[in-house]
Amino acid sequence: MSVQNPVKRLFMTLTQGVYVVGVAEAGLRDAFTASSVMQVSLQPPMLALAVNPDNASYPLLISSGIFAVTVLQDDQHDLADLFGNHSARDEDKLRRVQWHAATSGAPVLDAGVSYFDCRIVTKQPAGDHVVVMAEVTGGDFLHASARPLQYSELGDMDGSDELLPRHLDDGWPKRTDEIGVETSTSHTKDFGEKG
């Protein structure tokens, strides 16, 4: 899964984690992989999430006004793939993992490093995504000694190599250096059934 696009290589030097964002309302639930999550405020503690409004989970996210962010462990490429390359339009992804509901009701993956429970405060369109700002209302460690997964370790798992422009204004970047990207092409499909 080597990355060819120079702009994607440039973006991959921005340090980002990999998360599973869980949403729920009125008996419906979904979860999707997101790398575009960042801390934006200390008082109150707030997170920003950039979400594609085409995601099946988007209407649930907006109508419920809540979500939970599970931080994935460094060896959980398979979970990033399951929640990032499959949609609730086709299957109930959460049936394939162990999860529990946060106080908000949003699903949290039991196998994560930690989680944040969030309440949406505001949203702002941003290109082909919508940036959602949310107050962190709760959270905890799940496997605190585990190392968080980094987005740059996933190569082109999200297919953005083709979606990003290959160059910015005046042909930047001029250099097309390979960055230290670790990739994996074998994703284990056995996640264990939830009872």
Ligand X SMILES: Cc1cc2nc3c(=O)[nH]c(=O)nc-3n(C[C@H](O)[C@H](O)[C@H](O)COP(=O)(O)O)c2cc1C
Distance of CA 17 to the CA centre of its chain: 8
Select the residue interacting with ligand X from 8, 22, 32, 111 (CB under 6 A). Answer: 32
Taking the complex as a whole, how short is the minimal distance between the CB of residue 53 and ligand X, in angstroms? Answer: 8
Partnered with residue 100 across adjacent β-strands are 108
* Sign of the four-CA dihedral 35, 40, 46, 48: negative
Say how far apart CA 71 and CA 122 lie, in whole Å.
22
Interface with ligand X (CB under 6 A), residue total 24
Token pair recorded at residue 129: 């995504």
Taking the complex as a whole, how short is the minimal distance between the CB of residue 69 and ligand X, in angstroms? Answer: 11
End-to-end CA distance of the chain: give it in Å, rounded.
Answer: 34
**Toward ligand X, which CB reaches closer, 34 or 46?**
34
Residue 193: count of CB within 10 angstroms of its CB: 9
Task: For residue 69, state whether it binds ligand X (rule: CB under 6 A).
Answer: no
Task: For residue 63, state whether it binds ligand X (rule: CB under 6 A).
Answer: no
Instruction: Choose among 93, 12, 16: nearest CA to 57.
Output: 93
Task: For residue 68, state whether it binds ligand X (rule: CB under 6 A).
Answer: no
Select the residue interacting with ligand X from 66, 88, 102, 109 (CB under 6 A). Answer: 88
Task: For residue 76, state whether it binds ligand X (rule: CB under 6 A).
Answer: no
Select the residue interacting with ligand X from 34, 66, 102, 111 (CB under 6 A). Answer: 34
Residues 142-161 that bind ligand X (CB under 6 A): 154, 157-158
Instruction: Give the contact letters, 95-134, x = binds to ligand X (CB under 6 A), - = no.
Output: ----------------------------------------
Catalogue the E-assigned strands of 26-176.
28-34, 37-41, 46-51, 66-71, 99-101, 107-109, 114-126, 129-141
Taking the complex as a whole, how short is the minimal distance between the CB of residue 194 and ligand X, in angstroms? Answer: 17
Is residue 101 packed enough to be buried (19+ CB in 10 Å), middle (13-18) or exposed (0-12)? middle
Q: Rule CB under 6 A: which residues touch ligand X?
A: 18, 30, 32-36, 50-52, 55-57, 80, 83-89, 154, 157-158
